[in-house]
Amino acid sequence: MNSHIKKIRELESQPKVIKNMFSTSETEDFLKLYQDLPVTVHNKKQNVIKKRWLQGYNKKLEKIFCERLEKEIGSFKMDNLKDENGKDIFGLIQESYSPIGLHVDGGFDLNNQIYKQTLIPLSSVGSTVIFKNRYYEGSTSFTQDPEELKKKNLGYGQNKRSNNHLQLYGKKPFDEKIHKQYLQHENIENLRGLEVEMIYKWEIGSMLIFDRSHLHCSSSVIEGKKLGIATFTKK
């Protein structure tokens, strides 16, 4: 478990959405940035293309992003993966054709004091489900799939697999109405004991900010594909 858990909890807060955080032209700059960046991962099984937001491709956007985020959350350090030269990256831009399952982005170093994460939508159709339930043991994908649970030999930046959540949060059945509307890609039994904190419906120009300890996942609401930027911070 994260060694800074007391400090992490002291800084936790409810998720918030900052509307009109970015102008139309800034959103266009983000889309151009996505086109310019090299592909990092094309995961055909998950049907997702990931690109790292590398430093130096658009310094003006980097400055805008950092200044506006600092205004909302105060001082922070980046806690994204690093590039081949050991330099911090600003985040991950993901083009998804199918929804990403239940997980937590608690980081890969339990000596870090994790803080907030952000989501910037670059397409209008999509939503993110954030649960009230929290987890403090690093980046983890939660599953009941026996084949997934066997995966132990993970590469740099890959989430560990776990079904611990099924013992942590009780046995209360998950809300069937929410499951039908937003989470049909998830086995409803895998959501047992979870309660929804927020369903964020994507809106271009806005930014979602939430604690990295929150369990969350994509909703099953997608039209063709969706594109968004995820960033992660620490103290």
pLDDT at residue 83, as a whole number: 81
Q: What percent of the chain has pLDDT over 90?
A: 75
**Which one has a higher pLDDT value, 27 or 1?**
27
Taking 70 as the threshold, does the pLDDT of residue 10 lie above it?
yes
Could you state, in order of their start, the residue ranges of all structural domains in the chain? 5-234
Cβ atoms within 10 Å of 209's Cβ, excluding its own: 20
Say which residue the tokens 């870090």 belong to.
112
Taking 70 as the threshold, does the pLDDT of residue 2 lie above it?
no
pLDDT at residue 110, as a whole number: 86
Query: 141-155: buried (b, 16+ CB within 10 Å) or exposed (e) per residue?
Result: bbbeeeeeeeeeeee
pLDDT at residue 109, as a whole number: 87
pLDDT at residue 70, as a whole number: 97
Report the distance separating Cα 20 and Cα 205, nearest Å: 5
Average pLDDT, the chain: 92
**Which one has a higher pLDDT value, 83 or 55?**
55
Report the distance separating Cα 40 and Cα 81, nearest Å: 12
**Which one has a higher pLDDT value, 146 or 1?**
146
**Which one has a higher pLDDT value, 124 or 153?**
124
Q: What is the pLDDT of residues 131-142, one digit of tens each?
A: 999 999 999 999
Burial of 23 (0-12, 13-18, 19+ CB in 10 A): exposed
| Rounded average pLDDT over 203-219 | 97
Taking 90 as the threshold, does the pLDDT of residue 129 lie above it?
yes
pTM over 0.85, yes/no = yes
pLDDT at residue 207, as a whole number: 98
**Angle at Cα 235 formed by Cα 141 and Cα 155, nearest 5°?**
35
Q: Which fold has domain 5-234?
A: Jelly Rolls (2.60.120)
| Rounded average pLDDT over 208-233 | 94
Q: What is the pLDDT of residues 106-119, one digit of tens each?
A: 998 888 999 999 99
